[in-house]
Chain A
Amino acid sequence: MATAMATAAKPMTAEEKKVIFASSLGTVFEWYDFYLYGSLAGIIAKQFFSGLDPNSAFIFALLAFAAGFIVRPFGALVFGRLGDMIGRKYTFLVTILIMGLATFIVGVLPTYASIGVAAPVILIGLRLLQGLALGGEYGGAATYVAEHSPQNKRGAYTSWIQTTATLGLFLSLMVILGTRTWIGEAAFADWGWRVPFLVSIFLLAISVWIRLSMNESPAFKKMKEEGKTSKAPLTESFGRWKNLKIVILALIGLTAGQAVVWYTGQFYALFFLQQTLKIDGGTANILVAISLLIGTPFFIVFGTLSDKIGRKPIIMAGCLVAALTYFPLFNALTEAGNPDLAKALAASPVKVHADPKECSFQFNPTGTVKFTSSCDIAKQVLAASSVNYENVTTTGVAKIMIGDKVIESYSSKGLPADEAKKKDAEFKKAVGTAIKEAGYPAKADPAKINKLLVVAILTLLVIYVTMVYGPIAAMLVELFPTRIRYTSMSLPYHIGNGWFGGLLPTTAFAIVAQTGNIYNGLWYPIIIAGATFVIGMLFVKETKHVDIYAKD
């Protein structure tokens, strides 16, 4: 405990460096494993899902969605409990073993073509294990590092863990690209996609070797020696109001806002560049990558700063500034990324005349819901073309009015597949021609993209991410006593990030389609970050001075 009670500005000891390195490296590998699946989703779908009939495909789509992020909080519960009962070291050895093995097995799994429906079933099972393992990893890594840190350096030390998701994403992409370049595109699509999954076994070996050589956290060790560990961490964490209210506050006053800022800066910005601004995929991804790389060091900056000025000011400021500036920033992104679109949006108003009873809220997290009314189809096509529109209430079949031009929509309900497809093509062509004539560009003109400005805006979005995320590991650790720390902090983190954050892209799209304004999707993160700011400011106490062993 002596090391943990150190004050003054002592340099990091070798033991402390090893703790941070070992925890962070393992967590990077866990994120690598997890992101591989997402980065190769297209190939995976082709190899495992495309042979299924539509009903089965639908069910598997739902399960893949659930396995990817709904299941994370359950992982938090399972492994949080384990970590508080038997120790941090062994638990996060287990999480990395599960993650690494599940990933490796994906690499050797026969495809649908070889073993039929068993293939996607096993795949979903493996993805479920990945989600569970991820749910257990983060809480363990943050708790483990925090419990080794000196009192006044907890923010700085844990901020290294906060870089791991971004680094894991990059690592997964570089391994994929490296493999693709090495063996060629065709071979990669055929069998080469397995290589990044197989590589995981080496990463696993390294992680296990390092983690086996580490000591248990001193706080937990002491607790175990004194016989004070919790026998029922779940009950103690969530069955007693005194702790449960802090868990709830950690969610609605911290992680919910943090998660939506994270998802907006890290993923929604990419979606916006590609889908809304129609910037070509390659360019959009590079610009986002550059902004992430420039921004990543700021996790350390803000984590370290939080040791000096407090965690709360930085996280709250991040939520507030994000909520206040998302609209102007994304507007500026449009001007910088696709100035022709910006001009068309200003100059050529479009109206959708529809019967409101026909218009659904197009919330589609699994990508499997079909919206078939004439209103829904009209709005979908317009939203997909980044056209702002005004809603006008009328009756009958929905119509799109672009200036004087009227294009009638159609309902695809009950239509045979080939007729629906034909009508879809006709409708899209008619709308496409009309909006083109109205000045809406089909694609962003590469010559007109102000890349420097786009990167600057994206980097600012990432800075917000680093403000809300950098100090949060330390803060979550400081909210709970050692005996139930792993359990209590993991759940709000994964509900916030897995659910609030994970549902952002889908919800944003549904709002855009419903309201007709390409920026209205931002209301989701703005409202949640804003609510987190208000609740956090009122009810969440500053924690940087907390002695994390005081309640032990």
Chain B
Amino acid sequence: MWKIALGFGLFAVLAVFMLMSGGDIDMGGEKHGADAVHAPAAANAASGPTR
């Protein structure tokens, strides 16, 4: 189990490092393209919300 914990810890550090140096990212994984075409009035941020 400790090997998995260590592995996950390394993954987490790598993930945060990449996300911090990566610029424009979006954790809202469940968009479907519609909000990019017809942006609802609220969704004006560059990295838009989920739907």
* A residues whose Cβ falls under 8 Å from a Cβ of B: 34-35, 37-39, 41-42, 44-46, 48-50, 57-58, 60-62, 64-65, 67-69, 127, 169-170, 172-174, 176-178, 180-181, 185, 267-268, 270-271, 274-275, 281-282, 285-286, 288-290, 292-293, 296-297, 364-368, 380-381, 383-384, 502, 505-506, 509
How far is it, in angstroms, between the C-alpha of A447 and the C-alpha of B16 when the chains are bound?
21
**Residue pair B23, A282 in contact (C-beta under 8 Å):** yes
**Residue pair B48, A290 in contact (C-beta under 8 Å):** no
Q: CB-CB < 8 A to A383: which residues of B?
A: 41-42
Chain B residue at minimum C-beta to C-beta distance from A291: B27
The answer to whether A380 and B16 touch (CB under 8 A), given A42-B36, A49-B33, A275-B49, is no
Q: CB-CB < 8 A to A69: which residues of B?
A: 30, 32
Q: How many A-B residue pairs have CB under 8 A?
A: 163
**Residue pair B32, A285 in contact (C-beta under 8 Å):** no
How far is it, in angstroms, between the C-alpha of A497 and the C-alpha of B42 when the chains are bound?
24
**Residue pair A35, B18 in contact (C-beta under 8 Å):** no
The answer to whether A275 and B33 touch (CB under 8 A), given A293-B15, A506-B51, is no
**Residue pair B15, A38 in contact (C-beta under 8 Å):** no
How far is it, in angstroms, between the C-alpha of A288 and the C-alpha of B49 when the chains are bound?
13
Chain B residue at minimum C-beta to C-beta distance from A45: B36
How far is it, in angstroms, between the C-alpha of A502 and the C-alpha of B36 when the chains are bound?
17
How far is it, in angstroms, between the C-alpha of A202 and the C-alpha of B22 when the chains are bound?
24
Q: Which of B3-43 contact A (CB under 8 A)?
A: 5, 8, 11-12, 14-16, 18-43
How far is it, in angstroms, between the C-alpha of A378 and the C-alpha of B4 when the chains are bound?
52
**Residue pair A173, B28 in contact (C-beta under 8 Å):** no
Of A38, A271, A381, which contacts B29 at CB under 8 A?
A: A38
How far is it, in angstroms, between the C-alpha of A73 and the C-alpha of B8 when the chains are bound?
32
Chain A residue at minimum C-beta to C-beta distance from B36: A45
The answer to whether A180 and B33 touch (CB under 8 A), given A38-B28, A286-B16, A380-B41, is no
Q: CB-CB < 8 A to A181: which residues of B?
A: 18, 21-22
**Residue pair A271, B49 in contact (C-beta under 8 Å):** yes
Q: Shortest CB–CB separation between residue B3 and chain A, in angstroms?
A: 11
Of A172, A267, A366, which contacts B34 at CB under 8 A?
A: A366
How far is it, in angstroms, between the C-alpha of A285 and the C-alpha of B31 when the chains are bound?
15
Of B19, B21, B44, which contacts A289 at CB under 8 A?
A: B19
How far is it, in angstroms, between the C-alpha of A38 and the C-alpha of B49 when the chains are bound?
11
**Residue pair A271, B34 in contact (C-beta under 8 Å):** no
Q: CB-CB < 8 A to B30: which residues of A?
A: 35, 38, 68-69, 267, 502
The answer to whether A293 and B40 touch (CB under 8 A), given A38-B32, A39-B26, A41-B32, is no
Q: Shortest CB–CB separation between residue B31 and chain A, in angstroms?
A: 4
Q: CB-CB < 8 A to B33: which residues of A?
A: 37, 41, 44-45, 48-49, 60-61, 64
**Residue pair A281, B40 in contact (C-beta under 8 Å):** no
Q: Shortest CB–CB separation between residue B18 and chain A, in angstroms?
A: 5
Q: Shortest CB–CB separation between residue A480 and chain B, in angstroms?
A: 27
How extensive is the interface on chain B, given as a class?
A: 35 or more
The 7 closest A-B pairs by CB, nearest first: A45-B36, A281-B47, A61-B34, A177-B22, A35-B29, A41-B31, A68-B32
Between B5, B19, B42, the greatest number of chain A beta carbons within 10 A of the residue's beta carbon is seen for B42
Q: Shortest CB–CB separation between residue B10 and chain A, in angstroms?
A: 11
Q: Shortest CB–CB separation between residue B41 and chain A, in angstroms?
A: 4
**Residue pair B49, A282 in contact (C-beta under 8 Å):** no
How far is it, in angstroms, between the C-alpha of A69 and the C-alpha of B35 when the chains are bound?
15
Chain A residue at minimum C-beta to C-beta distance from B29: A35
Q: CB-CB < 8 A to A509: which residues of B?
A: 40, 42
How far is it, in angstroms, between the C-alpha of A317 and the C-alpha of B14 when the chains are bound?
33
Chain B residue at minimum C-beta to C-beta distance from A169: B29
**Residue pair B37, A367 in contact (C-beta under 8 Å):** yes
**Residue pair A281, B31 in contact (C-beta under 8 Å):** no
Q: CB-CB < 8 A to A174: which residues of B?
A: 14-15, 18-19
Of B8, B19, B36, B49, which contacts A270 at CB under 8 A?
A: B49
How far is it, in angstroms, between the C-alpha of A381 and the C-alpha of B41 when the chains are bound?
7
The answer to whether A365 and B24 touch (CB under 8 A), given A37-B32, A61-B37, A64-B33, is no
| A-B contact sample (7 more), CB < 8 A, given A174-B14, A271-B49, A505-B50 | A46-B36, A49-B37, A65-B34, A170-B15, A271-B50, A281-B24, A502-B30
**Residue pair B36, A41 in contact (C-beta under 8 Å):** yes
Of A60, A65, A267, A365, which contacts B28 at CB under 8 A?
A: A267
How far is it, in angstroms, between the C-alpha of A268 and the C-alpha of B49 when the chains are bound?
8
Chain A residue at minimum C-beta to C-beta distance from B41: A380
Can you list 7 residue pairs at the A/B interface with Cβ under 8 Å? A41-B33, A46-B36, A61-B33, A61-B38, A173-B15, A267-B30, A289-B19
Q: Shortest CB–CB separation between residue A21 and chain B, in angstroms?
A: 10
**Residue pair A286, B29 in contact (C-beta under 8 Å):** no
How far is it, in angstroms, between the C-alpha of A289 and the C-alpha of B14 when the chains are bound?
12
The answer to whether A50 and B37 touch (CB under 8 A), given A174-B14, A275-B45, A383-B42, is yes
**Residue pair B46, A281 in contact (C-beta under 8 Å):** yes
How far is it, in angstroms, between the C-alpha of A177 and the C-alpha of B44 when the chains are bound?
22
Chain B residue at minimum C-beta to C-beta distance from A274: B45
